[in-house]
Amino acid sequence: MLLITCPYCGPRPELEFSHGGEAHIARPEKPSELSIEDWTQYLYLRANPKGLHAERWRHLHGCARFFNALRDTTTDQFVATYKAGEPRPTGGAA
Amino acid sequence: MQKFSALELFRQGLSGQSGWRPQWRNPEPKAAYDAVIIGGGGHGLGAAYYLAKQHGLRNIAVLEKGWLGGGNTGRNTTIIRSNYLFDESAALYDHALKLWEGLSQDLNYNVMFSQRGVLMLAHTVHDVQVFKRHVHANRANGVDNEWLSAEEAKAFCPPLNIQPNMRYPVLGGALQRRGGTARHDAVAWGYARAADALGVDIIENCEVTAIRRNAAGAVEAVETTRGVIKTPKIGVSAAGHTSVVLGMAGVRLPLESYPLQALVSEPIKPVFPCVVMSNTIHAYISQSDKGELVIGAGTDVYTSYTQRGGLHINQHTLEAICELFPMFRRMRMLRNWGGIVDVTPDRSPIIAKTSVPGLYVNCGWGTGGFKATPGAAHTLAWTIAKDEPHPINAPFTIERFRDGFLIDEAAAAAVAH
């Protein structure tokens, strides 16, 4: 089980969290003006990197707030967790 | 190929079983092939076999970064069934099931295919309605599936607990009698041996590191840890690593890779006659011919390439197993492991051409690819050889997401996700 550091509550076991998929995907301002390719990309295409991945988590059974994390998918190690709205941290391994 | 038969076994016995030869060669990669398959699991080896046998392509290679069948082929719970809801899925999975039924004879290799029946349990009124809908849809598609009451389910699988005081009591189940299990390693080895006999080069410890494309954008070579190999056609059967391989050619797919875990118990005498699945409380169980209970757990919630996952996922499944089969409560588990499964948004696979000429992909099988091994291999080989899909895999394109033709087994599915 992963130990995840909620930016609001501190380190908590994985069971308290739900996973929210890739982070930093903004809903298009004007969906009706999007090309079909861009809309497909927004709906279905997700980064699936072998390495550092920026993803959303929600501290469901805690403060219930969403936040983002940078995690290495080859080790499951968290490099950073940060509040929603903050930019993806630079640095970290690889 | 040294043909296996009772007579041959007897003959070898006379010389102390000393005359058996390796079942396939261990060749050095050639500088060029007519087609290259990336991924030496059942799907990839099978595709090579059907390419050689049915389409006459003999100058081909299977590249495997590790050892044969060391990925999800060797990590699944070997359940085979075809009782999917939608017409497209039923056609694809039943195509595979029909190939399973003749596979040992076709390959001259005992894949230990055992049609012991797959029983899917219903625990809620919703389950009952969904499963009955499945039963009717399957039968309309010529796929066997029948509804059993709780008592009939217990008669079919005596260890099953149908007491009404369970947290999730068994209200009945859908039984596919043609479903069952097969020996996973034998599937990879049988395809490898048969493909090798037709001239296919099977190259292990050979990881693809790049895909080269020509000025027109078509594939022309793969760079590997064992040198550059020229080829005009590449078929990718790389399961959880499909995104990584396709990324080498600049192709993005609607896939996310998750760990899926399984575990086996200590071996015991035969006590469990069939396969039982419960989507609602997440338990998948059968008994191997070696005697171990083979138990499938769910996926972890996060994407990962680690081939392991959280222990609480296994614990969750074991709690369900102990409730359904109280006689297993004191059994000890022997091993647990994870495999990386590539999941599509609609939980249906992709077997298709890509936007890159000469590049074909078989992926997105998610949590249920083993059952489809012969069907996936057969239709991928067809797609590579003819540069167009077989009618059975024609709906399973990448473009279905763009065009809104999802095959949404995620909502309908007979398996938990």
Q: How confident is the model at residue B262 (pLDDT cuts 50, 70, 90)?
A: very high
Distance (Å, whole) CA B285 – CA B265: 11
Between chains, do B302 and A1 touch, taking CB under 8 Å as contact? no
Residue A93 has a pLDDT of 46
Q: Answer whether B118's CB lies under 8 Å from B168's CB.
A: no
Closest C-alpha to B127, from B417, B368, B416: B416
Query: Residues 1 to 40 of A: which have CB under 8 A from any B CB?
Result: 1-2, 14-15, 17-19, 21, 36-37, 40
Between chains, do A74 and B305 touch, taking CB under 8 Å as contact? yes
Q: Answer whether A26's CB lies under 8 Å from A85's CB.
A: no
Between chains, do B302 and A43 touch, taking CB under 8 Å as contact? no
pLDDT in tens, B294-329: 999 999 999 999 999 999 999 999 999 999 999 999
Alpha carbon separation from A56 to A16, B174, B320, B358 (Å, rounded): 14, 37, 29, 36
Work out the mean pLDDT of chain B and round it to a whole number: 96
pLDDT in tens, A15-70: 999 999 999 999 999 999 999 999 999 999 999 999 999 999 999 999 999 999 99
- Mutation target to probe the B interface, by most B beta carbons within 10 A, among A19, A25, A44 is A44
Q: How confident is the model at residue A80 (pLDDT cuts 50, 70, 90)?
A: very high
Which residues on chain B are in Cβ contact (under 8 Å) with A74?
Answer: 305-306
Between chains, do B303 and A18 touch, taking CB under 8 Å as contact? no
With a pLDDT cut of 70, the percent of chain B lying above it is 99
Does residue A94 carry a pLDDT above 80? Answer: no
Residue B409 has a pLDDT of 87
DSSP 8-state secondary structure symbol assigned to residue A16: G
The alpha-carbon gap from A71 to the nearest alpha carbon of chain B, in Å, equals: 9
Say which residue the tokens 């051409």 belong to: B353
CB contacts < 8 A (A, B): 56
Query: H/E/C letters for each residue in B171-228?
Result: CEEEEECCCEECCHHHHHHHHHHHHHHCCCEEECCCCEEEEEECCCCCEEEEEECCEE
Between chains, do A18 and B301 touch, taking CB under 8 Å as contact? yes
Distance (Å, whole) CA B149 – CA B162: 10
CA angle B63, B69, B75 (to 5 degrees): 135
pTM of the predicted structure, to 2 decimals:
0.96
**What's the average model confidence in pLDDT over B198-204?**
98
Say which residue the tokens 């080859």 belong to: A74
Does residue B416 carry a pLDDT above 90? Answer: no
Q: Output the DSSP codes for B18-53.
A: --PPPSS--PPPPSB-SEEEE--SHHHHHHHHHHHH
Closest C-alpha to B130, from B84, B177, B80, B176: B84
Nearest residue on chain A to B304, alpha-carbon basis: A73
Distance (Å, whole) CA B210 – CA B225: 10
The alpha-carbon gap from A70 to the nearest alpha carbon of chain B, in Å, equals: 12
Dmax of chain B from CA atoms? 68
Nearest residue on chain B to A3, alpha-carbon basis: B310
**What's the average model confidence in pLDDT over B71-77?**
97
- Mutation target to probe the A interface, by most A beta carbons within 10 A, among B302, B316, B347, B406 is B302
Count Cα neighbours of A65 within 13 Å in the Cβ-side half-sphere.
15
- Mutation target to probe the A interface, by most A beta carbons within 10 A, among B208, B300, B305, B308 is B305
Q: Answer whether B60's CB lies under 8 Å from B45's CB.
A: no
Residue B51 has a pLDDT of 98
Instruction: Set out the domains of chain A in order of their start, with CATH numbers.
Output: 3-28+35-83 (3.30.2270.10)
With a pLDDT cut of 70, the percent of chain A lying above it is 96
Q: How many residues does chain A have?
A: 94
The alpha-carbon gap from B74 to the nearest alpha carbon of chain A, in Å, equals: 20
Say which residue the tokens 């999730």 belong to: B168
B401 lies within 8 A of chain A by CB = yes
Dmax of chain A from CA atoms? 43
Which residues on chain A are in Cβ contact (under 8 Å) with B347?
Answer: none
Task: Please give the single-letter amino acid code of residue A60.
Answer: L
Beta bridge partners of B202: B62
- Please compute Rg for chain A using Cα positions: 15
Which H helix or E strand runs over B314?
A: helix B311-324
Between chains, do A15 and B312 touch, taking CB under 8 Å as contact? yes
Does residue B417 carry a pLDDT above 70? Answer: no
Q: Output the DSSP codes for B138-166.
A: HHHTT---EEE-HHHHHHHSTT----TTS
Q: How confident is the model at residue B264 (pLDDT cuts 50, 70, 90)?
A: very high
Between chains, do A18 and B312 touch, taking CB under 8 Å as contact? no
Does residue B1 carry a pLDDT above 80? Answer: yes
Between chains, do B302 and A40 touch, taking CB under 8 Å as contact? no
Distance (Å, whole) CA B131 – CA B144: 13
CA angle B381, B383, B388 (to 5 degrees): 160
